[in-house]
């Protein structure tokens, strides 16, 4: 039975688009109409330039692949500076309601307001919408300068837990009354040994939080016919948080995906066809392995801090964050976003690389099941880079290549769309 959007939320300053339909859910699966309504947050700073370029390329790819049968109905919603102007607030409730209702959204970078009472608008969006998985596909585009010899071996998707571990961390400064109280409790009532004057940090990790993250990772592995899901942890040192993450991950695989997965430890030879191998690696070893045995790895699932480090390390291996897409997933929700910030010094100069947002858009199309359009964008982007028609950042790395504008880069990608 499908879960239909029973009632459209009423907005204070937005109108529901009159064309297009809402994406719906059947269990865990999205039901995507031919004209889905996709809320879009343009973003601050360079967001305006890269979102314009991204929408042009996505629209062109969808039109080329589906000959007008399919089309995205973009729905502009507000966050950041644009929301300040329209609503006099940074993150209006209209925006949350639109994303919840329409389920899949695209987002440019947002300024972190100074003194706005927010840690960051991005973190607030993730928390309010309970987007518990930060997902980063990392793969190589030929022609992009890379610090390693065989960057093409990298093709991983990182599933990073977004709500627990250090993101939910509790800290008390050394010598503060709170730290003294916690130390007193731990030393005198729990028998722990802690040096006087220590700062205190506590990181919670739960079975619920771990299992919902690993579930998404295994579902993706099955959908994309990937070979393995690797649980990356530091369980040799932190047994009841990181070690528990590993144990809960294996438990979930056994309990919910027993027919479709096999633990690496149970294998006597190669994995049976069609089964996803579940294995685990200690985080420090993983940093070595991703360099030395890059193509042994496929989908990686990990707690927040490991994911923070490893996402950027993997991106660096294929040429940096400029071409790194990202998304945040919750139950039935997906917010696709550029992984860099607003680079305010380049705002409105038609200068920067739209690659990260464009690849997030391509990832969004894949999530919708519009795989042909997604592949077409990736192929055209790759071809454009090989032709050395690139923005300043890649031109700088390639050396002796004239930079083209954001809008010209988008035009070049559209010209290179296959078919």
Given the residues 28, 34, 184, 284, the one annotated as active site: 284
146, 162, 298, 353: residue in contact with ligand NAP (rule CB under 6 A):
353
In angstroms, rounded to a whole number, what is the distance separating the alpha carbons of residues 235 and 208? 18
Residue 278 touches ligand NAP, criterion: CB under 6 A: no
Per the annotation, the verdict on 180 as an active-site residue is: no
36, 249, 334, 341: residue in contact with ligand NAP (rule CB under 6 A):
341
Residue 136 touches ligand NAP, criterion: CB under 6 A: no
In angstroms, rounded to a whole number, what is the distance separating the alpha carbons of residues 360 and 142? 18
Burial 256-287 (b: 16+ CB within 10 A, else e): ebeeebbeeeeeeeeeeeebbbbbbbbbeebb
Give me the least distance between CB of 158 and ligand NAP, in Å please: 16
Q: How many CA atoms lie within 13 A of 41 on its CB side?
A: 32
Q: What are the two backbone dihedrals, phi and then psi, of residue 355, each rounded to the nearest 5 degrees?
A: -55, -45
Q: What are the two backbone dihedrals, phi and then psi, of residue 353, each rounded to the nearest 5 degrees?
A: -85, 120
CB of 363 within 8 A of CB of 382?
Answer: no
CB of 134 within 8 A of CB of 163?
Answer: no
Per the annotation, the verdict on 348 as an active-site residue is: no
124, 306, 342, 374: residue in contact with ligand NAP (rule CB under 6 A):
342
Give me the least distance between CB of 387 and ligand NAP, in Å please: 18
Per the annotation, the verdict on 405 as an active-site residue is: no
343, 358, 380, 404: residue in contact with ligand NAP (rule CB under 6 A):
343
Given the residues 102, 167, 172, 250, the one annotated as active site: 167
Q: Which of residues 300-339 bind ligand NAP (CB under 6 A)?
A: 322, 337
SS3 assignment for 26-49: ECCEEECCCCEEEEEECCCCCHHH
Given the residues 203, 211, 234, 351, the one annotated as active site: 234
37, 41, 110, 183: residue in contact with ligand NAP (rule CB under 6 A):
110
Give me the least distance between CB of 392 and ligand NAP, in Å please: 7
Per the annotation, the verdict on 284 as an active-site residue is: yes
What residue ranges bind ligand NAP (CB under 6 A)?
46, 50, 109-112, 122, 322, 337, 340-344, 352-353, 356, 393
The catalytic residues are: 167, 234, 284, 308
């Amino acid at each position: 039975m499908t879960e239909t959007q029973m009632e459209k939320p009423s907005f204070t300053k937005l109108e529901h688009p009159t064309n297009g339909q809402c994406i719906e859910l059947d269990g865990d699966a999205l039901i995507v109409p031919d004209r889905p309504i996709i809320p879009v947050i343009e973003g601050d700073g360079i967001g305006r330039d890269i979102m314009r370029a991204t929408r042009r390329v996505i629209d062109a790819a969808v039109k080329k692949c589906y000959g007008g049968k399919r089309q995205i109905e973009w729905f502009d919603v507000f966050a950041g500076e644009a929301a300040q102007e329209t609503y006099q607030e940074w993150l209006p409730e209209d925006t949350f309601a639109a994303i919840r209702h329409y389920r899949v959204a695209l987002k440019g970078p947002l300024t972190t307001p100074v003194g706005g009472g927010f840690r960051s608008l991005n973190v607030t969006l993730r928390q309010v919408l309970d987007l518990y998985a930060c997902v980063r596909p990392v793969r190589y585009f030929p022609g992009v300068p890379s610090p390693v010899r065989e960057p093409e071996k990298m093709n991983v998707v990182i599933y990073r837990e977004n709500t627990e571990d250090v993101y939910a961390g509790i800290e008390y400064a050394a010598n503060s009354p709170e730290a003294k109280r916690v130390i007193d409790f731990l030393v005198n009532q729990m028998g722990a040994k802690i040096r006087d004057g220590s700062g205190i940090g506590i990181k919670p990790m739960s079975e619920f939080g771990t299992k919902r993250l690993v579930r998404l990772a295994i579902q993706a592995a099955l959908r994309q016919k990937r070979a393995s899901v690797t649980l990356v942890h530091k369980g040799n040192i932190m047994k009841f948080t990181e070690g528990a993450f590993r144990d809960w991950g294996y438990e979930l695989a056994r309990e919910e995906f027993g027919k479709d997965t096999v633990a690496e430890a149970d294998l006597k030879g190669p994995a049976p066809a069609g089964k996803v191998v579940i294995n685990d690696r200690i985080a420090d070893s993983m940093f070595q392995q991703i360099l030395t045995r890059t193509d042994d790895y496929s989908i990686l699932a990990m707690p927040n801090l490991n994911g923070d480090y490893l996402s950027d390390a993997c991106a660096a291996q294929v040429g940096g964050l400029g071409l790194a897409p990202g998304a945040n997933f919750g139950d039935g929700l997906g917010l696709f976003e550029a992984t860099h910030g607003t680079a305010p010094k380049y705002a409105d100069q038609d200068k920067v690389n739209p690659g990260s947002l464009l690849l997030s858009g391509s990832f969004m199309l894949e999530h919708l099941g519009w795989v042909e359009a997604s592949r077409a964008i990736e192929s055209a982007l790759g071809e454009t880079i090989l032709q050395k028609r690139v923005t300043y950042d890649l031109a700088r790395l390639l050396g002796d290549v004239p930079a083209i504008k954001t809008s010209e880069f988008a035009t070049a990608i559209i010209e290179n769309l296959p078919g």
